[in-house]
Amino acid sequence: MTSIRTETEYKAMMQRIDELLLIVEEGTPENDVNSIELVLLSNLVADYDEKHHPVSQPTLQDILKLRMYEMKLTQKNIAELLGVSPSRVSEYITGKHEPTLKVARQICVKLSVDAATVLGV
């Protein structure tokens, strides 16, 4: 088999991968039949996932919400970090306004956000 053609095949392979993960351990030799099958099926599933279940890049809004949660920050805290008003942070989070280059730089540095995400590229 060179590729997965249907969702049914995909689900069957996912089930088989789950079974193989119980058998194949870290110390299992690479030339073991189960190990080889696991690698082959995993590659087929990964290819199918990329084509049929793509994962989109996170938006700035998604990243800001995540950072707020991870760093236990409020909009007011982020506003203080970035040197803007809490209402401006709210506009960034809702997507009503985009940050200036100066604020984008602060988001990258102070919140450890990738520049490509902040700039939407």
CATH homologous superfamily of 60-119: lambda repressor-like DNA-binding domains (1.10.260.40)
pLDDT along the chain (121 residues), means of 10: 90 96 92 94 94 86 93 94 94 92 94 86 73
pLDDT at 118: 86
CA distance to 27, 54, 78, 94, 96, per residue, from 10 (Å):
27, 15, 43, 36, 39
* pTM exceeds 0.75: no
CB contact at 8 A, 13 and 41: yes
pLDDT at 90: 95
Domain boundaries, the chain: 7-52, 60-119
